[in-house]
Chain A
């Protein structure tokens, strides 16, 4: 991808971040925002900017980057433009963990940890199920195991919500629809570490993904250990997605959509696609979070709803182009 495009992408991400910090329900002038950032403003300004908007915007950017990179890597490795980061039952497992926590009225800070535990359990379970079916070397078996685990998780969520009071149900649904509202600096730091490691891993595998994208036989002919590399990409992508789910719940469409946008912008090798998808995904989710905050005051829209609203027309347009 041309250098000018990369610069544009970085500029868009920076602009989105600035907008995200500058705008919100509480009206602050840019000067006030600056005072908030530097700590010289009033208590409200500093608190809004440093404790509310900045962690939230950074969390959103990290979630978008993680989902974009994961989706790009998975689409390349599966040679399928419809692959998305919530493979291996990640979304279902995370939802079970979080819903159970909410149903038990766990403190808000504990819910993401339960979500993460659920996601990790789902990935592990998918691998175990695949091994038990004798196909741990075949990536398709692992994928199918993930579907099975996800279906089981959905059933478990229904059961968990059956006898629970109305507010807890609302809390569970709110979590499942995705939100960056509870962002804290602790979460931002944890997610930053997770995304940095995950994206680095996927970028490292990028060349192998380029070869996988030619076909499994062709890749094998050029020396790629197809089974091992495919599994590595799946697991790295799923763990990256699990980290984002723990931080912000289920944010759909980003991992599906952004790799297409990256390829449309001219990224061709997977090193470029994954990198561009990370930057683009970050910008997208920051803007979606901004929209979620200001579209319908005093309430907030769920983040997943905003990204879905963006995603549906995009895919309709692609569909028309195919037919």
Chain B
């Protein structure tokens, strides 16, 4: 379980706080999504979790323990983070790359055991990427690369997974695949925290949504509670309507054309 309690973050030499007393909880067995416009602080949340930005106020707790009381490596055995941008400088094989996910358990010196190798194979199988194991990561397509990244996070063997915009550059099939996987991981008992701007997919898959606006929590709750036209229009600063499509019954946000055109 991941909990942010009144967390405030201010980037150096900036006047405005990136996050202001933000509180949210990503519970076990649920898919929690953080959404909001650009600059609302979504990625800052993830950075604060991994210690890349200093937390000015409040606390972040994982399974009840504040993160600054655990070592970085120990924390990584409990939370697997898939960051937004990852550009490996040098080519690795897929299997080697996924095996890097075992680092939090192995540290610098311990040799991988059979259990570690099994975790890697298992993760590849679950992400339907076993056939890619011997390929170089520089040769993968966008969809394959995302699956492999998720496999690495799964191989980390943590109870909680945090993903920052995992579906960028993916087409429909791959996007749905990723969301279905995240849903499955949550149902298996993990706490899954997802940062995404894909509001419609989030509405369909998430159990709990947190809407951020300029570093504050503007709304939070079940999808039906958050997908309200008034608050979304205010936050996204664009006219829109919320519909429910007749075929699947999914809530969807439909942005309207700019009024000046009429």
Contact = CB atoms under 8 A, between A and B. Distances in A.
Contacts of A80: 89
A176 to B, nearest CB: 31
B149 to A, nearest CB: 9
Given A76-B90, A80-B89, A217 B83 contact: yes
B105 to A, nearest CB: 9
Nearest to B110: A207
Contacts of A217: 47, 50, 52, 83-86
A: interface residue count bin = 20 to 34
B86 to A, nearest CB: 5
A76 B47 CA distance: 22
Nearest to A77: B89
A207 B73 CA distance: 13
Contacts of B96: 268-269
B145 interface: no
B: interface residue count bin = 35 or more
A207 B106 contact: yes
Contacts of B140: none
Contacts of A268: 90-93, 96
A50 B85 CA distance: 56
B229 interface: no
Contact of B50 (A76, A208, A220): A220
A206 B109 CA distance: 9
A223 B73 contact: yes
Interface string B7-49: 0000000000000000000000000000000000000000100
Contact of A263 (B52, B87, B90, B104): B90
Contacts of A220: 50-52, 72, 81
Interface string B62-98: 0000000001111111001111111111111100100
A221 B50 contact: yes
B76 A221 contact: yes
Contacts of B71: 223
Contacts of B47: 217
A269 B50 contact: no
B100 interface: yes
A224 interface: yes
B103 interface: yes
Contact of B72 (A215, A216, A218, A224): A224
A25 interface: no
B156 interface: yes
A52 B149 CA distance: 54
Contacts of A221: 50, 76, 80-83, 162
Interface of B: 47, 50-52, 71-77, 80-93, 96, 100-101, 103-104, 106-109, 156, 162
Interface of A: 76, 79-81, 204-208, 210-211, 213-218, 220-226, 263, 268-269, 273
11 contacts: A204-B109, A215-B85, A215-B87, A216-B52, A222-B104, A223-B71, A223-B103, A224-B72, A224-B73, A263-B91, A273-B90
